[in-house]
Amino acid sequence: DQQVKQNSPSLSVQEGRISILNCDYTNSMFDYFLWYKKYPAEGPTFLISISSIKDKNEDGRFTVFLNKSAKHLSLHIVPSQPGDSAVYFCAASVLTGANNLFFGTGTRLTVIP
């Protein structure tokens, strides 16, 4: 059973506009959330994370929002750039656990120049 879900397999956005990638989770024990970015023929690379004690974390053009009551998080990229075109994975974990990450199925973002 998929505990972390990304319901949009793909997203296309014009360069300079905002990209919003969404993620839902079902396990209320999750208290740490991460976004990874993956280019073809490479491994995923860490992008940004958020603890459940926060509802927002910002790093440059990337902002992650967490809505615990809705069990939903989103990644905003502003402004989007062609180099942002990649597959984005949402992941969740339990801080007091064994550092095991539960991944979503990924969203392929295409930024159109």
Contact yes or no for 87/10 (Cβ under 8 A): no
Provide the minimum distance between the beta carbon of 7 and another protein in the complex, in angstroms, as a whole number: 12
Phi/psi at 65 (nearest 5 deg)?
-115, 140
Provide the minimum distance between the beta carbon of 98 and another protein in the complex, in angstroms, as a whole number: 6
Site for another protein in 49-68 (CB under 8 A): 49, 51
* Contacting residue, 58, 67, 97, 112, with another protein by CB under 8 A: 97
Only one of the segments 14-22, 54-62, 63-71, 93-101 lies at the binding site for another protein (rule: CB under 8 A); that segment is: 93-101
Angle 98-100-101 from CA coordinates, rounded to 5°:
150
Tokens of 61: 């053009």
CB-nearer residue toward another protein: 51 or 67: 51
Q: Does 46 bind another protein (CB under 8 A)?
A: yes
Residues 26-47 as b or e (16 or more Cβ within 10 Å = b):
eeeebbbbbbbbbeeeeebeeb
Residues that bind another protein (CB under 8 A): 2, 4, 6, 32, 34, 36, 41-46, 49, 51, 89, 91, 93, 95, 97-106
